Amino acid sequence: MSVAITEGVEIRISVTFRSDLSNGESNSYFFNYEVFITNHNLFPIQLLHRNWHIFDSMHDISTVSGEGVIGEQPILRPHKSFTYMSGCELFSELGYMKGFYTFKNLSSEKIFRVEIPKFQLIYPPRLN
């Protein structure tokens, strides 16, 4: 599990390889990642924006950017968490993702960035 804490916001990421959706013969490797976001601050925050950098060892780095996550801009009260799951397809056996979220402190209206820790996307037989 990859973990980072920035500005009192903890991001933990767990990755699962999806053999049922992947096909090595056609160079399609699918991964699910679950993101756990915890607000350790004494004030409420709202996730406004995401910015992902996706590295696939056979391609250039791609960037995915947009409002919120999975169609939501969740509000996290102090010491509360939000969890969501998403996926990524690679066209090689090795890659990684990293990036940042943009949040708003709902007490002060201050906008701030929170690091998304780098996590590996590796086809499991490649680990042997």
> What would the mean pLDDT of 58-81 be, rounded to a whole number?
94
**Total domain count, the chain:** 1
**Residue 25 three-state SS:** helix
Cβ within 8 Å of residue 89, ≥6 positions away: 28, 29, 30, 31
- Residue 47: which CATH number? 2.60.40.1470
Q: pLDDT digits over 3-39, tens only? A: 999 999 999 999 999 999 999 889 999 999 999 999 9
Q: pLDDT digits over 83-121, tens only? A: 999 999 999 999 999 999 999 999 999 999 999 999 999
DSSP state of 12: E
What is the domain extent for residue 44? 2-127
pLDDT-derived band at 128 (thresholds 50, 70, 90) equals low
Q: Give the model's pLDDT for residue 113.
A: 98
